[in-house]
Amino acid sequence: MSAEQEKDPISLKRVRGGDSGLDGLGGPGVQLGSPDKKKRKTNTQVNCPPFLFEVFLYAPIDDESSKAKIGNNTIVFTLRKKEAAMWETLSLSGVDKEMMQRIREKSILQAQERAKEAMEAKAVARREDQKYTLNVMMKIEEEERKKIEDMKENERIKATKELEAWKECQRKAEELKIIQREEKLYHQEKQMEEERKKLKHKCLIGNSASKNLATKGRNSENIFFEKLKEDSIPAPRSVGSIKISFTPRVFPTALRESQVAEEEEWLHKQAEAQRAMNTDIPELCDLKEEEKNPEWLKEKGNKLFATENYLAAINAYNLAIRLNNKIPLLYLNRAACHLKLKNLHKAIEDSSKALEILTPPVADNANARMKAHIRRGTAFCQLELYVEGLQDYEAALKIDPSNKIVQNDAEKIRNIIQGTEVESK
């Protein structure tokens, strides 16, 4: 082989000629089926029954870039040398059967290793693609979330600016009113000053006239001066302001010494309830900071209750109670949800728990206690336990005796009880 041939790939063409054995792989009059081609580093094999072609190459080849092309009843091998060097012959000389078997086994092992590496590389590529896709999706979601947050922030800034502009307009309008009022007072004072000057001028003229007219006498002069004194009214005093401060008080009612201890106890319980947070809940790690606030969960439950999504509202109240079980309104609101869902026994339990926490009875928790009695009484009546229900309604009336709705409901329950007793007799 020449130097130019060393750089170029080896082209091997075997064509059938006559009745010879290994050369019967291609040529006129032979129809090839689906031949089994194997290209390895040290040997090349084609199997197309009943024909077989195998050659053990002189030196290793690059099986990745080597090819075998089938066409026109001919197989063309294009083999690229591993190392650019002159080959003395195509096939390896002096190869016995045992050596052939070793070469075949080694080639098969190498092919299996390459196939395994290819599969692993494909799996790695697939994982990388999945990871890339996941990262892209997360990035898109993050961009969407940031976009929504930016929109919220822009809306908040816009609303704040509008509120500040409205406040500024109100302030300017108030300043304008003050200026107008001061101008009006100034004009009034100026007018009164002019009237005083005119009156003084008239007084001087009257004095000169009284000196010339002796018939008037002294009495008329005295009367004139008395009238002058009456007309000379002093100007109004300047406006002033007095600031008063009252003793601070939490409760809306007047202070009563008999209830001071109970009010202090209630305030102490409320302060403890605000601090009683249970953070040892496994679900908390998946929640946002705002979702760990019982007050936020209570407001969310109230909104869900308003949309008649009672089950979701109960879930919100449940999590809030797990975080802080000292807030009576959580039990009270959950009792209302159970009433809507006809879970009457649970409504009674939650109302009783709310009443248990709403102690001592003070004016600040009177409305909540009344609602708890009404909801428990309603649940008792729906269970046809009218006597127990009436007791709760009467307890609610003791808290608010002027509530007409509670009075009417209590009267209806009494009529039902009396009708039941008459029928039983």
Relative to beta strand 67-71, strand 10-14 is unpaired
**Number of structural domains the chain divides into:** 4
417 plus 272 within the same structural domain: yes
* Local structure of 2: helix, strand or coil: coil
Whether 313 is in a domain gets the answer yes
- The conformational region for residue 126 under phi > 0 = left, psi -120 to 50 = alpha, else beta, is alpha
Instruction: Give the pLDDT confidence score for residue 304 in this predicted structure.
Output: 92
Return the closest-CA partner of residue 80 out of 94, 59, 95, 97.
Answer: 59
30 plus 64 within the same structural domain: yes
CA-based torsion, 373, 376, 379, 383: positive or negative: negative
Largest CA distance in the chain: 179
What is the DSSP code (8-state) at residue 185?
H
Instruction: Give the pLDDT confidence score for residue 388 in this predicted structure.
Output: 92
91 plus 101 within the same structural domain: no
* Local structure of 297: helix, strand or coil: helix
271 plus 393 within the same structural domain: yes
106 plus 71 within the same structural domain: no
Summarised one tens digit per residue, pLDDT across range 69-105 is 877 778 888 888 888 888 888 777 777 888 888 888 8
184 plus 206 within the same structural domain: no
User: What is the spatial distance between Cα 334 and Cα 325, in angstroms, rounded to a whole number?
Assistant: 13
User: What is the spatial distance between Cα 340 and Cα 304, in angstroms, rounded to a whole number?
Assistant: 13
Q: Cα angle at 109 between 103 and 113, to 5 degrees?
A: 145
Q: Is the separation of the CB atoms in 350 and 334 below 8 Å?
A: yes
Q: Backbone phi, then psi, for 415, in 5-degree steps?
A: -65, -40
The domain in which residue 320 lies consists of 265-424
Whether 241 is in a domain gets the answer no
For the whole prediction, is pTM greater than 0.85?
no
Instruction: Give the pLDDT confidence score for residue 266 in this predicted structure.
Output: 52
Instruction: Give the pLDDT confidence score for residue 50 in this predicted structure.
Output: 66
107 plus 76 within the same structural domain: no
Whether 139 is in a domain gets the answer yes
278 plus 213 within the same structural domain: no
Report the b/e string of 181-193 with b at 16+ CB within 10 A.
eeeeeeeeeeeee
Whether 257 is in a domain gets the answer no
377 plus 269 within the same structural domain: yes
30 plus 156 within the same structural domain: no
Instruction: Give the pLDDT confidence score for residue 21 in this predicted structure.
Output: 29
Whether 376 is in a domain gets the answer yes
Q: Is residue 106 classed exposed, middle or buried when 0-12, 13-18 and 19+ CB atoms within 10 A define those classes?
A: middle
User: What is the spatial distance between Cα 420 and Cα 412, in angstroms, rounded to a whole number?
Assistant: 12
Instruction: Give the pLDDT confidence score for residue 79 in this predicted structure.
Output: 83
Q: 3-state DSSP: the chain helix, strand, coil percent, rounded to 5?
A: 65, 10, 30
Stretches in the chain below the pLDDT threshold 50: 1-33, 214-225, 227-229, 249-252, 254-255, 257-258, 422-423, 425
Whether 50 is in a domain gets the answer yes
User: What is the spatial distance between Cα 228 and Cα 202, in angstroms, rounded to a whole number?
Assistant: 10
User: What is the spatial distance between Cα 292 and Cα 179, in angstroms, rounded to a whole number?
Assistant: 52
Distances (CA, A) of 331 to 324, 348, 371: 11, 10, 11
297 plus 413 within the same structural domain: yes
The alpha carbon of residue 334 and the mean position of all alpha carbons in its chain are separated, in whole angstroms, by 23
Q: Which of 95, 116, 149 finishes a domain?
A: 95
Q: What is the CATH number of the domain that holds 40?
A: 2.60.40.790
405 plus 272 within the same structural domain: yes
Strands (E), 25-163: 36-39, 43-48, 51-56, 67-71, 74-79
Instruction: Give the pLDDT confidence score for residue 15 in this predicted structure.
Output: 37
Q: How far apart are the first and last CA of the chain?
A: 129
Whether 144 is in a domain gets the answer yes
Cα torsion for 374, 379, 380, 383, to the nearest 10°?
160
Identity of the residue numbered 1: M
Q: Which residues pair with 39 in a beta bridge?
A: 44
